[in-house]
Amino acid sequence: MDVQHDNKIKELKEALDKALLEGGRAEKHYLDLGDTYNESYQQTHQQEDLENAVMCYETGLQVGPIGRETHWYLFNNLGLALCARYKQVGSVNDLERSITCLKQALDLSPPGHPNRPISLNNLGLVLRSRYTVYGEMEDLKRCLICHKQVLDLHPLGHPNRSIALNNLALSLQAKYEQLGDMTSLGNAITCYEQALELRPTGHPNRPMSLNNLANALKVRYEQLGKMEDLERSINYHEQVLDLWLPGHPLRSGSLNNLAITLQDRYDHLGSMEDLQKAVTYHEQALELRPLGHPDRSVSLNNLANALNVRYNWFGKIEDMDKTITCHEEALGLHLLGHSQRSHSLNNLANALRTRYKHIGEIKDLEKCIACYQQALDLHLHGNPFRPMSLSNLAIALQIRYEQLKKMEDLEKAIICHKEALDLHPPGHINRSASLDGFATALQTRFQQLQEIEDLEEAINFHAQALNLRPPGHPNRPTSLYNLATALHMRYKKLGKLENLEKAIACLRESLDLHPPDHPMRVAYLNNLAISFEARYMLLGETKDLILTVACCEQAACHETSSLPDRLIAAKHWAIKAHTYGFGSAISAYSLALDLQQQHLALLPSITSQQKLVEKSSWLALDAASCAISNGMPEMAVQLLEQGRSILWSKIEGYSHSLTKISEKAPKLAEEFQILSKQLEHNAISNDTNITLQRTLSEKWKNMLEEIRKIDGFSDYLQVPSFNTLRDVSIEGPVVMINISYFRSDAIILTLHSSPIVVSLHDTSPQILNQLVGQLSKATTSPDNSKYVCYVLRHLWHAIVKPVVEQLAQLKVAERSHIWWCPTSYLCALPLHAAGPYRKGVKNLPDLYISSYTPTLRSLIRARLNISKPQSSLNLLLVSQPDDTIPYVFEEAEVIKNFKKPVSLCSGHNADKKGVLSALQSHSWAHFACHGHLEEQPFNSWFQLYNKEHLTVLDLAMAKLPNAEFAFLSACHSAAGNIHGTPDESIHLAGAMQFSGFRSVVGTLWAMTDDDGPSIANAFYRYMFQDPDNVDLRNAAAALNFATRELRKQGVPLDRWINFIHIGV
């Protein structure tokens, strides 16, 4: 408060004290003092001023008998002050008291009293405020009666008639919003227009009338879709902006309103100019509201909403990131105790929920739920915003349930929805939304528990919600969609065609109500496809099958929808087209793989990327099977390369050689390399800033496009052509085994011929999954030989024997080196050891020397610039013995006895830092320690000194320039996540290969401790047989020799087949 104001307060207090001492009319002094505090509050919005005003008015009413003229002012002003405090603090008790006071003021101004129009007007305004809280039509009816009486008391020519028209219009608009009564909206617009006519150019309130009329016209446009209304709305808002020139205190509000209306025209006409103007105007409004401005948070929120619109339509991630940044700043301006903090929490949570929906990053969802919970904690019982907070929290909890399947999330969501519905009784404006939300949660619980009562109650609630959303209601499409989903569930449960027909009718109507570019169309199309297919399965009519695939295709190609939704749609399209023999299947698979790559690029952490890949683990395999069925084996090879080991490939793309690019564009190459290194580090981290990672990814993508414009680099970092991939067979045949639910095949790649497809009719994913179970029993059962033999014989007859017969036809000599590139469950099975295991009959290890490669590209890269045979090598021996693996001492001695230079890393030197440092300077490494397989494969580890863990992630982050060969004599060192992402090769051996090792020996399961010295002895004896020409390319032959030595020693089958070779 300024000095003049302080002096005025002081004078009024002195006059009050004097009146009290003299026994005079103190109520007038309390009124004057209260009005002064109230004036100060209107300027400063300081809560203390408002509290003082309320106290003065209340005290004034207590010091004199009711009926004096001053008491009308005290009741009136106290009522308005209590209403202001309600808006500031949110206490409904203040709102109730406000109405009571204003009613008493009205009683003190009977018909004919000069203050009666004021009393009627103020009571009408506060009744409308209570209506917005409870949604009671009685309040709105009484409000309209008050404002109509005010208008009657202000006939044509009355100076306040325009005010009366304006307030009546606002109440009529509220009636429309409750009942959808277009007559009320039309009458409101007529009142606004009459008020505007009474406020000609130059009238101080003309801009406000223009603004209100513009807003009402916008609402009518939203219902009737008449462009004339929208154009008039924009025109009036532009007039307001012209009247409030730069420097005018209300200009920022005018910018805001115009921006919102331009967004609407953009939605209708798709003019990018309108959307860009909207964002620009919001940005200008924000600039006019700097830090400290009371409406800065409003502008932040509105700018965020405009950016969100642009993001929803165009998918530019920087828009969504900026949206969240705006909401975060707004929240920072609303600290604990601020009346708007709960709203800022809610807005931020909404934006995070949107980003989660579009990107799928679980951190966004967790933060969203935390924000919603904090908002709910601030909306205690009786708070008008509590139902909204309950509904929002419930929706977010349901989303997390869908992700994590924790029943406590779903049960809490149902409790929240029920409380929200109880707070929205029949007649409440938001009851339909609460009915829909509660019903959806009950549907979800039905899916889990299959209790029909939940589904019937859900259908009943959805039907009620639909009845409350008649034709023309903006949320009618949502209600139709939700009811259709529930009806389809009842059809599946009870098998009644009428439910399915009703579901299809609802979905078709909901689609008709959405414009072609609406982002929700993809969800509606997906569900409509499911319903058409269900009807096809029931009635067998081909038209339904055609409609099924057509809906899936439209959904997948709907570019204004989110990536996760489009990816789901593309997978549905591919599977349906493939299953029913439609020619679009290959296109569908190609799109699905492309969308998967795009989605991966937006996920900031390796964990979130892995979860996405897990959801699409069969995609590339099914795509390849489709290509084979269509006589395109070359494409099958490319599709397998595109869709497998994509996590390693994505990270590896950041470290690709730039030497040749540097020769043509050195500056671009340098910038690209710096950016790639940063992204590579971030990509294998779990604590990367989401916004930063995506900003860098977008920049990297743009630079990659620039590189591809350089002559000779058009396919840089793209899936290589088949002719390039075929070079993988330069040192021997490579056999890709594709296991799909549609068909299973071997694809044999040789250097000078087309790929040869060998159909594997006797195997399938289901059979191989059973074999994995059999093998698991073998590793834990005392009578394991029968389980192991069963597995190896089945692998021989179903897969390996047909391949071997084809190799014989190709004249591939016995004891040649061949490479296996398995998929699916085969990644966990000992394909290299398959055989009939009958006396006198050769098994695969007797016929060929087997190696594995996770992808063709990884083997091609491993052969690049490979070192020549050498006499000197530097071998690092990481040895960490303990009481459970005592043979590690003997294993270390065996290796040292070969008289090759060995650097022993053991004891306190073998901590994580020491081992990673030593790996930098050694080309060969031998690990003899504990290995452990974790459920989260990137966390699988070697146990080092003091039980410190060297994880897959640690190895992936290491760059080892001298790496050549590694022997991992540890449990599970080549075992991956077989039931999650088997084709990603996320295991210790895979990490060693990714970090630079060209050749790796590992284990598929737990190894027996005393096998370590034996296999190491035989292996290195073979490798070092010519000490002057030690060649790492002999590693596969050395392992074959070593395992045959173990067989001769009588080592059980499950122990020697455990060891595999990967790479060159």
- Sorted by where each begins, the domain ranges of the chain are 732-859, 865-1063
Residue 65 has pLDDT above 80, yes or no: no
Are 278 and 319 in contact by the 8 Å Cβ rule? The answer is: no
Per-residue pLDDT tens for 408-426? 999 999 999 999 999 999 9
Cα–Cα distance, 519 to 517 (Å, whole number): 6
Mean pLDDT, range 819-832, rounded to an integer: 96
Model pLDDT, residue 710: 84
Mean pLDDT lowest for which of 300-304, 682-686, 785-789?
682-686
pLDDT tier at 760, thresholds 50, 70, 90: very high
Model pLDDT, residue 677: 62
Backbone φ and ψ for 1060, nearest 5 degrees, come out as: -130, 160
Residue 682 has pLDDT above 60, yes or no: no
CA nearest neighbour of 588 among 552, 621, 558: 552
**Bridge partners of residue 649, in order along the sequence:** none
Compare 75 and 673 and report the one with higher pLDDT.
Answer: 75
Mean pLDDT lowest for which of 181-185, 283-287, 620-624?
181-185
Model pLDDT, residue 217: 95
CB atoms within 10 A of CB 375: 25
Per-residue pLDDT tens for 1018-1030? 999 999 999 889 9
Mean pLDDT, range 10-38, rounded to an integer: 83
Model pLDDT, residue 289: 92
Per-residue pLDDT tens for 683-695? 545 445 555 555 6
Model pLDDT, residue 843: 97
pLDDT tier at 657, thresholds 50, 70, 90: low
Model pLDDT, residue 659: 62
pLDDT tier at 359, thresholds 50, 70, 90: confident
Per-residue pLDDT tens for 483-519? 999 999 999 999 999 999 999 999 999 999 887 877 7
pLDDT tier at 922, thresholds 50, 70, 90: very high
- Which pTM value belongs to this model? 0.68
Per-residue pLDDT tens for 572-604? 999 999 999 999 999 999 999 988 887 776 676
CB atoms within 10 A of CB 661: 20
Mean pLDDT lowest for which of 217-221, 470-474, 708-712, 933-937?
708-712
Residue 33 in tokens = 């003092």
Mean pLDDT, range 628-632, rounded to an integer: 97
Mean pLDDT, range 268-285, rounded to an integer: 87
Cα–Cα distance, 458 to 399 (Å, whole number): 18
Cα–Cα distance, 392 to 484 (Å, whole number): 22
DSSP state of 83: H
State the sign of the Cα–Cα–Cα–Cα dihedral 823, 825, 828, 834: negative
Per-residue pLDDT tens for 868-904? 888 778 899 999 888 888 899 999 999 999 978 899 9
Model pLDDT, residue 697: 67
DSSP state of 871: S
How far apart, in Å, do the first and last CA atoms of the chain sit? 81
Model pLDDT, residue 36: 92
Q: 539 Cβ partners below 8 Å, 6+ apart? A: none
* Distance, CA of 460 to chain centre: 31
Model pLDDT, residue 833: 98
Model pLDDT, residue 711: 80
pLDDT tier at 654, thresholds 50, 70, 90: very low
Cα–Cα distance, 619 to 637 (Å, whole number): 14
Q: 553 Cβ partners below 8 Å, 6+ apart? A: 573, 577, 584, 588
Per-residue pLDDT tens for 449-485? 999 999 999 999 999 999 999 998 888 999 999 999 9
Residue 3 has pLDDT above 70, yes or no: no
Per-residue pLDDT tens for 121-167? 999 999 998 888 888 889 999 999 999 999 999 999 999 999 999 99
Backbone φ and ψ for 817, nearest 5 degrees, come out as: -90, 125
Residue 956 has pLDDT above 80, yes or no: yes
Model pLDDT, residue 445: 97
Are 34 and 53 in contact by the 8 Å Cβ rule? The answer is: yes
Per-residue pLDDT tens for 562-580? 778 899 999 999 999 999 9
Share of the chain above pLDDT 70, in %: 94
Helix axes 521-539, 497-512, angle to 10 degrees: 150
What would the CATH number be for the domain defined by 732-859?
Answer: 3.30.420
Residue 707 has pLDDT above 50, yes or no: yes
Compare 681 and 875 and report the one with higher pLDDT.
Answer: 875
Identify the H or E element spanning 1002.
strand 999-1003
Model pLDDT, residue 600: 77
Please tell us whether the domain made up of 865-1063 is placed in CATH 3.40.50.1460.
yes
Mean pLDDT, range 1001-1008, rounded to an integer: 95
* Distance, CA of 695 to chain centre: 16
Are 798 and 767 in contact by the 8 Å Cβ rule? The answer is: yes
* Distance, CA of 197 to chain centre: 51
Share of the chain above pLDDT 90, in %: 64
**Bridge partners of residue 932, in order along the sequence:** 941
Are 778 and 784 in contact by the 8 Å Cβ rule? The answer is: yes
